[in-house]
Amino acid sequence: MTESIPEYTFSKQQCPVCVGAGTRLMGRRGGSAHRLGLGIPSSIYQCRGCGLIFPDPMPIPSSINEHYGDAQEYFVEHSFDGKQAAYERVLDSFQELGANPGRLLDIGAGRGELLRAALMRGWDAVGLEPASHFARIAREYSGAQVIEATLEQRPFPENSFDAVTLGAVLEHVFNPRALLAEINRSLRPGGFLWLDVPNEAGIFYLLGNIYQRMRRRDWVVNLSPTFPPYHVFGFTPRALRRLLQVTGFQPIRLKTYAACAIVETRNSPVPASLRQLVRWSLRLGELAGAGTYMDAWAIKREPALFS
């Protein structure tokens, strides 16, 4: 059976952080540049200014629902309990940083695990989720209000929230700078933002790209613009800090961590023969501050402090 490929429009892309900065071609990703032939080929570039990674041109899907498909299938490797436990730790960190339960917005609510954890902690939590399948499950699981829209489609009044969360969202967004600027407007002064994204400067990506060069391929393992999990922007610690700063946030904590799930899933991009080596490398990367993922906490600065 032939895989159905969603329709895309293609838009010229530049770095949204260092607008007008030069780029370097890293390689190709998807289609003939994927070992399983998933998606369609994309040329992957890196900004020479901040290190942000993105496809150029950018493939933009005609339908979000068709793009992401069924929520349960998309999250097939994730357990509800495991995700909720991880978000409990995020809420613990908010408390450590001085954020008491107040009004919280969860953008990209997914299946609702963070919303459920926040409600149980006494937060007045609301979610945004543009994919209808995901939004329905998030409402049922969390019991919270989940609005079927993006923040750009459903803006809130200024200073509406004490905290905003972006769990595994920013790498999917086609204009991350605009989203963070709108989040900043929606937060009260001194409000908190938490987000997590893959760390494209992590040792997994470094070793993966070296492996492709050893195979004499012009492929890269960064991003997945047209196949699951549909990552269209890749952040390094430098790029993420810079993006937070130019959108009015003060980064207060950023840490990288390893996650071996990337080699344990059924559709792992890592050949079985290399998985043990990758597991060791991930652990080493975590110790060296080059883990596969990043958590970041930031606080909204006073408007006079940024432009």
CB within 8 Å of 120: residues ≥ 6 apart: none
What pLDDT does 131 receive?
87
What pLDDT does 79 receive?
62
Domains along the chain with CATH numbers: 70-220+239-305 (3.40.50.150)
pTM: 0.86
What does the alpha-carbon distance between residue 40 and residue 6 come to, in Å, rounded to a whole number? 10
What pLDDT does 86 receive?
87
What pLDDT does 288 receive?
56
What does the alpha-carbon distance between residue 142 and residue 219 come to, in Å, rounded to a whole number? 40
Report residue 243 as tokens: 């993006």
Contact status, residue 60 vs residue 11, Cβ threshold 8 Å:
yes
What pLDDT does 2 receive?
39
CB within 8 Å of 165: residues ≥ 6 apart: 90, 104, 105, 106, 107, 114, 193, 194, 195
Report residue 299 as tokens: 């606080």
Strands (E), the chain: 8-11, 23-29, 42-47, 53-55, 58-61, 103-107, 124-128, 145-147, 161-167, 187-198, 249-257, 293-300
Contact status, residue 166 vs residue 107, Cβ threshold 8 Å:
yes
Please report, in tens digits, the pLDDT of each residue of the chain (307 residues total): 334 456 899 999 999 999 878 999 999 999 999 999 999 999 999 999 999 999 999 999 887 656 655 545 555 454 667 788 889 999 999 999 999 999 999 999 999 999 999 999 999 999 999 988 889 999 999 999 999 999 999 999 999 999 999 999 999 999 999 999 999 999 999 999 999 999 999 888 988 899 999 999 999 999 999 999 899 999 999 999 999 999 999 999 999 887 654 544 555 555 666 666 666 666 666 655 678 899 999 999 865 444 4
